[in-house]
Structure 1
Amino acid sequence: MTTMKEIAERTGVSISTVSLVLNKRDAGRVKPQVAAKVRETATQLGYRPNPLARSLRTSKTSILGFVSDEIATTPYAGRLILGAQDAARALGYMILTVNTNGETDLEEHEISTLKQYGVDGFIYARMFNQRTTVPESLLSLPTVLLDGTDDTGRVPSIIPDEEAIGYEATRHLLDAGCRNIAYVGASDRAYAADSGRRAGYRRALREAGLETDAGLEVGTTFNQPALDVVGDLFDARHPDGFFCFNDARAWYVYESAARRGLTVGRDISVVGVDNHRIFAETLAPRLTTMDLPHYEMGYWATLKLVSLIERRTPRIDLPHTTSPLPSLDDHDARIRCTLIRKESVV
């Protein structure tokens, strides 16, 4: 196994210099050309850090705890966790993930277990954007809230810019010539996202000189009740455009249109939210949708957490992402979402 001493001898610098460089603490302490030579030599010699030795020396394990409620059982979990893991890997950390199923007792048990493993900090992830109170048991270590807003304001967080989603989706329908635009929202739980997207929808209408109309706004659950609500909306108000809370609810618009002999993308226009792979590959014509940047939110959450742990901004080459990452200086970050144009808008 290659040691720091061997690298120091090969490069003609001290062991302490090698240590600063390989532990990413060389900024302002080691000349850039010297640091580059040390890294190149370490790579050539196949140097691999010893995590156990480093943890004993620094009292840090380079392990992050990822605590979620229902995230691991949702179709969006993969992108959230992948983004977090990719950022952790690039920064020399690893992530331990636990799922609590929304059970308080289980959550406290899992948090305690992660602490026993010596995690350096926590990402506390929620299913969909919601207001939440971060458990007191997390606050002894650096913590970042993912896809939620902390009621107390003590913990930094990242959420989608929900109002911008509603505004940009509705603006796209207006630009396509729609003037009788419906909002198909969610009524099965109190989503923070629903109120934000509805507010953006209304703002876009007002700016276009159109009156908001409560009769064009409906809330749905799923299955037959949702189909009934959307069908009644078609028959009573004859919308020419639909902004849907998510891609799943857009399906009911497609189905209701087909039952009435209408063609999406020709007779009516539809915009969803999620860029959900199943609906993106199933619906015809393909659904125009607002992409929810789950990968980017997971990536930012890890960057933010490491910046709190190390008390510095991580130096890293950021990956290409669909949505730009917010500044790490933000305490309550809102990430803009990207409109994915397809064929469901006239």
Structure 2
Amino acid sequence: MTGSRVSEKTNGIRDVAARAGVSQTTVSHVLNETPHTRVSEETAARVRAAAEELGYRPNRLARGLRTHASDMIGLLTEEIATTPHAGRIILGAQEEASRRNLTLAIINSELNPDPEVDSTQIQAFLDRQADGIIYATVYHDVISPPENLRVRPAVLIGARDEAGLIPAVLPDERGGAASVVDMLVARGHRRIAFAASADDVPATRGRLRGYVDAMTRAGLSTDGLIASGGSDARGGYTATLELLDREPTAVFCYNDRMAMGAYRAAADRGLRIPTDLSVVGFDDQAPLPESLFPALTTVALPHYEMGAWAVAALAESIQGKQDGSLLAAHPTVLNCPLVERESVAPPRERAGA
């Protein structure tokens, strides 16, 4: 005999079952997250610990052949991968998918002004046996999904299904805007102006409604305190110059880029932020808010949380643990938290007041 081969033992499901003191069927149910099975959390934790100790992983290919499941979900984005902040949606989706032992496949499509969604790219996921599909849109309030988006479980990010059949998750634009006004009122402001976007998109309408809601609730007038401009620094500059003629003590801007223009307008009028004028933005679009001086108080969009929520909801639906039709009936709205920095102070006493 000229040599010998030493074979390294590979632990299997039988070894995990023996280590955990349960049946092989129980191990299979726990590690494959089989729906509608009665396994206590204590037993499941013991099985997962045994599998980790032995370095055992389920054969996902074999499982897929048995169950016709691929453990892959598709994320179809609408130019989201190329926008500054929406990478957070992808990160949230990826990390939640990884936590659930799922593979996330991503297709980035062109911005579609038509609420009719193209079925071609959805079909690409179906051809690859995706267990479910997430569609993330940029501007649409309501969309008309093609029939093939309903072939498998699906979730929408940033839009609602016209027919109300697909679960959706949306940011609470209205509530986020209202929280800005509430904060400014609590700091003593009464003349709070709003530099609105001239773009007719859901975010414009939601943030304007939130501003008006909170001003009305506080017993404050909005007359002459709303001006519109492009949703960029130039638009914020022109809108703020118009508003400063009406002597507000605070300017709430539609987004952080408009707030950047508001800073320039204040400087051109010889006003200091926040001593003479408080400024607030929306989006928390890194690195802009912390790059301004003083650092901008703003509202954060829950991009990461929406991505994670979509994957979690989709996984629960795929596994039969959740009825997607119940979620579809009432879209989930996630909080837009206020991020306080240095651009807000109590209003100064005006000369002669």
Map 1:77-116 to 2 at 5 A.
77-102=86-111, 107-116=118-127
Segments ≥4 residues shifted beyond 6 Å: 327-330
Give the aligned partner of residue 148 of structure 1.
159
- In the alignment, is residue 192 of structure 1 matched against residue 202 of structure 2? yes
Give the aligned partner of residue 64 of structure 1.
73
- In the alignment, is residue 46 of structure 1 matched against residue 45 of structure 2? no
- Indicate how the Cα distance of structure 1 residues 287 and 330 shifts in structure 2: closer, same or farther if over 3 A, else same: farther
Give the aligned partner of residue 260 of structure 1.
269
Decide which moves more: 283-292 or 199-208. 199-208
Q: Provide Cα deviations, 1:148-203, integer angstroms capped at 9, x if missing partner.
A: 2222212111111121111110111111222211111111x321121111111112
Structure 1 portions without partners, runs of 5+: 315-326
- The two structures have a TM-score, normalised by structure 2, of 0.87
Does structure 2 retain, via aligned residues, the 8 Å contact 1:100–1:107? Answer: no
Give the aligned partner of residue 334 of structure 1.
333
Does structure 2 retain, via aligned residues, the 8 Å contact 1:146–1:157? Answer: yes
Does structure 2 retain, via aligned residues, the 8 Å contact 1:129–1:193? Answer: no
Identity of aligned residues (%): 38
Give the aligned partner of residue 191 of structure 2.
180
Residue-pair matches, total: 331
- Indicate how the Cα distance of structure 1 residues 129 and 82 shifts in structure 2: closer, same or farther if over 3 A, else same: farther
Secondary structure of 1:47's counterpart equals coil
Structure 2 portions without partners, runs of 5+: 1-9, 346-353
- Indicate how the Cα distance of structure 1 residues 229 and 251 shifts in structure 2: closer, same or farther if over 3 A, else same: same
Secondary structure of 1:274's counterpart equals coil
Map 1:153-232 to 2 at 5 A.
153-187=164-198, 189-213=199-223, 215-221=224-230, 222=232, 224=234, 226-232=236-242
Secondary structure of 1:307's counterpart equals helix
Give the aligned partner of residue 19 of structure 1.
28
Secondary structure of 2:159's counterpart equals strand
CA distance in 2, matches of 1:13, 1:211: 68
CA distance in 2, matches of 1:307, 1:26: 9
CA root-mean-square deviation: 2.4
Does structure 2 retain, via aligned residues, the 8 Å contact 1:129–1:160? Answer: no
Using the TM superposition, give the Cα deviation of residue 77 of structure 1 relative to its aligned residue in structure 2, in angstroms: 2.0
Does structure 1 retain, via aligned residues, the 8 Å contact 2:233–2:260? Answer: no
CA distance in 1, matches of 2:193, 2:248: 6
Give the aligned partner of residue 299 of structure 2.
290
Secondary structure of 2:39's counterpart equals coil
Q: Provide Cα deviations, 1:267-286, integer angstroms capped at 9, x if missing partner.
A: 01111111111212211111
Letter in 1 for 2:340: R
Q: Provide Cα deviations, 1:226-280, integer angstroms capped at 9, x if missing partner.
A: 533322222x312211111111111111010011110111101111111111212
Secondary structure of 1:206's counterpart equals helix
CA distance in 2, matches of 1:13, 1:207: 60
Using the TM superposition, give the Cα deviation of residue 223 of structure 1 relative to its aligned residue in structure 2, in angstroms: 5.2
- The two structures have a TM-score, normalised by structure 1, of 0.89
Give the aligned partner of residue 345 of structure 1.
344
Secondary structure of 2:157's counterpart equals strand
CA distance in 2, matches of 1:100, 1:307: 26
Letter in 1 for 2:11: T
CA distance in 1, matches of 2:329, 2:101: 23
CA distance in 2, matches of 1:33, 1:272: 47
Q: Which has the larger radius of gyration?
A: 2
Letter in 2 for 1:272: G
Using the TM superposition, give the Cα deviation of residue 31 of structure 1 relative to its aligned residue in structure 2, in angstroms: 4.6
Q: Provide Cα deviations, 1:278-330, integer angstroms capped at 9, x if missing partner.
A: 2122111111111111111111111111111112159xxxxxxxxxxxx9798
Using the TM superposition, give the Cα deviation of residue 8 of structure 1 relative to its aligned residue in structure 2, in angstroms: 2.5
